[in-house]
Amino acid sequence: MGKYALRRMVLFVPTLLVATILVFALFWIVPGDPALTILAGGEGDSGSVSSEQLQQLRQKLGLDRPLYVQYASWLGNVLRGDLGTSLWYKTPVWSHLRDRFLVTMELAVMAILLAVCAAVPLGIVSAVKQDTGLDYLSRIFSSIGIALPTFWFGILIVYALATFFEWLPPLGYATLWDDPVLNLQQLFLPALTLAFNDLAFTARVTRSSMLEVMREDYLRTARAKGLVELAVVGRHALKNALLPVLTVSGYQFARLLGGVIIVESIFAVPGMGTLLIDSIIHRDFIVLQAIVVLIAAVVLTLNLLIDLSYGVLDPRVRYQ
């Protein structure tokens, strides 16, 4: 176990470093100058900016230094928790990001819980009743879920609720601590929208993983010794079939964080996604950089944890 854990952790650091290099490189080969963007106040209109002003600001921001020095100092700051100052709001990025980060994470966790709770039973039924009507129904359901664009589904949900129940998602936002009921009310629909897309995929994985396990010898043994089917499926098959589902959920979480952006903008949730879109519109690359690095760090850490827990749950992995 020790060796396996060590090997996984040794891979984690360079991957995260490569991610920061990619993010940094992307935003500093931007055509156009961040200093100019600040002085010109967002977009266009660079005519009124004098070249001395520009030089001064470039010096202040450290843009006149070689790229690798800029990268090193940026990385140093990030490691100390300083994500820089927003080009648009002119305030520290972290102060904007902190609350929004929590909102997005809450939304994503809610969505993945909803998805797994629905997808696993669906996948099990589909596998146990393979090639019956029930199986086809659940497979058609998941094909639809995969092709259904998140943003369209979100719009349809809003429409259906508004038309048939005359209910509109509550405006304004409350945190989980201030008003848990309102918070859950607000986040339930966005989470459901996200979960539907995810559910389809997780159900597929559960199904194929269950089908594989069902062919194993130890299941035949379990049946042969007279266990009822429920115990065979529930205790012996499920335990092993859920391992791939766990791995996939890690990557699903990354996917979900992509969908969050769209869903947040439909349901006006004040999370990282709406901030991301804002920062793109204002060409606020410091905020954008911070969000991308933060997401990469979260996803990589989560995958590391999943891989490590995998080593605990499935002893076979350790000896490979």
Partner 1 sequence: MLAGREAVVARTIPDTRSEAPAHAPWAAVIKFAGRKPLGAMGGLIVLALVLTALLAPLISPHDPRQIIREANNRVPVYVAPGPAYLMGTDHVGRDIASRIIYGARISLYVGLGSVLIGVTGWFLVGMVSAYAGPRVDLVAQRVVDAMMAVPGLIIVLAIMAVLGSSLNNVIIAIVIGMLAPVVRTVRSQVLSVKEMEYVVAARAIGARSARVVVRHIMPNCLAIYLILATYYLGFAIILEASLSFLGVGVPPDVPSWGGMLTAAAQGHITKAPWAGIFPGLAIFIVVLGFNLLGDALRDVLEPRLRGARLGARLAR
Min CB(124)–partner 1 separation in Å: 16
Which residues have CB under 8 Å from 126's CB, separation 6+?
A: 134, 135, 138, 139, 203, 206, 207, 210
166 vs 217, which CB is nearer to partner 1?
166
19 vs 39, which CB is nearer to partner 1?
19
Q: What token pair was written down for 207?
A: 């199904």
162 vs 305, which CB is nearer to partner 1?
162
Min CB(211)–partner 1 separation in Å: 8
Min CB(159)–partner 1 separation in Å: 4
116 vs 288, which CB is nearer to partner 1?
288
Min CB(265)–partner 1 separation in Å: 6
222 vs 249, which CB is nearer to partner 1?
249
Min CB(184)–partner 1 separation in Å: 23
147 vs 224, which CB is nearer to partner 1?
147
**Euclidean distance between CA atoms 206 and 199, whole angstroms:** 10
**Euclidean distance between CA atoms 90 and 95, whole angstroms:** 11
- For residue 88, the one-letter residue type is W
**Euclidean distance between CA atoms 114 and 130, whole angstroms:** 24
Residues lying near partner 1 in the complex (CB under 8 A) are found at 11, 14-16, 18-19, 22-23, 26-27, 29-31, 143-144, 146-152, 154-156, 158-159, 162-163, 197, 201, 205, 208, 212, 248, 251, 254-259, 261-262, 265-266, 276-277, 279-281, 283, 285, 288, 291-292, 295-296, 299-300, 303
Min CB(231)–partner 1 separation in Å: 26
Min CB(318)–partner 1 separation in Å: 21
Min CB(141)–partner 1 separation in Å: 13
110 vs 276, which CB is nearer to partner 1?
276
203 vs 222, which CB is nearer to partner 1?
203
DSSP letters spanning the chain: -HHHHHHHHHHHHHHHHHHHHHHHHHHHS-SS-HHHHHHHTSSS--TT--HHHHHHHHHHHTTTS-HHHHHHHHHHHHHTT---B-TTT-SBHHHHHHHHHHHHHHHHHHHHHHHHHHHHHHHHHHHHTTTSHHHHHHHHHHHHHHHS-HHHHHHHHHHHHHHHS---PPPS---TTT-HHHHHHHHHHHHHHHHHHHHHHHHHHHHHHHHHHHTSHHHHHHHHTT--HHHIIIIIIHHHHHHHHHHHHHHHHHHHHHHHHHHHHHHT--SHHHHHHHHHHTT-HHHHHHHHHHHHHHHHHHHHHHHHHHHHH-HHHHT-
